[in-house]
């Protein structure tokens, strides 16, 4: 039987690096809004290894991404880097 955890969320702000959590956790999914182009990078803690990168297409829009299985392990927490005008709602637990 799989272990269950509470899922929480945090916001990656446009044009900024945001520490969503500094605790060991798992990235479960993201909802990303973008104007045209732009990237969102999720790192293992601030300045750690890259866990996930999303590059937006040239047209404005939004996307929801679910990470399969148990999610991506982040031993040092989650840090989210969003390009200008791009935001991310990050789900973790």
pLDDT tens across 25-58, in order?
A: 999 999 999 998 899 999 999 999 999 999 999 9
The domain that holds 73 is classified in CATH as 2.60.120
Q: Is residue 3 a part of any domain in this protein? A: no
Q: Is residue 41 a part of any domain in this protein? A: yes
Give the model's pLDDT for residue 2.
Answer: 61
pLDDT tens across 60-92, in order?
A: 999 999 999 999 999 999 999 999 999 999 999
Q: Is residue 23 a part of any domain in this protein? A: yes
> Is residue 93 over pLDDT 60?
yes
Count of domains observed in the chain: 1
Q: Please spell the DSSP secondary structure of 7-64, one letter per residue.
A: -EEEEEPTTSEEEEESS-EEEEEEEEEESSS-EEEEEESTT--EEEEEE--SS-EEEE
> Is residue 1 over pLDDT 60?
no
Question: CA 28, CA 88: separation in Å to the nearest integer?
Answer: 13
Give the model's pLDDT for residue 37.
Answer: 87
């Amino acid at each position: 039987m799989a272990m269950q955890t509470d899922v929480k969320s945090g916001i990656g702000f446009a044009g900024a690096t945001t520490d969503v959590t500094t605790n060991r956790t798992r990235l479960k999914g993201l909802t990303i809004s973008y104007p045209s182009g732009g990237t969102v990078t999720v790192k293992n803690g601030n300045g750690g290894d890259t866990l996930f990168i999303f590059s937006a297409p040239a047209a404005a829009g939004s996307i929801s991404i679910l990470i399969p299985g148990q999610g991506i392990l982040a031993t040092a927490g989650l840090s989210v880097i969003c390009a200008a005008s791009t935001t991310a709602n990050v789900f973790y637990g």
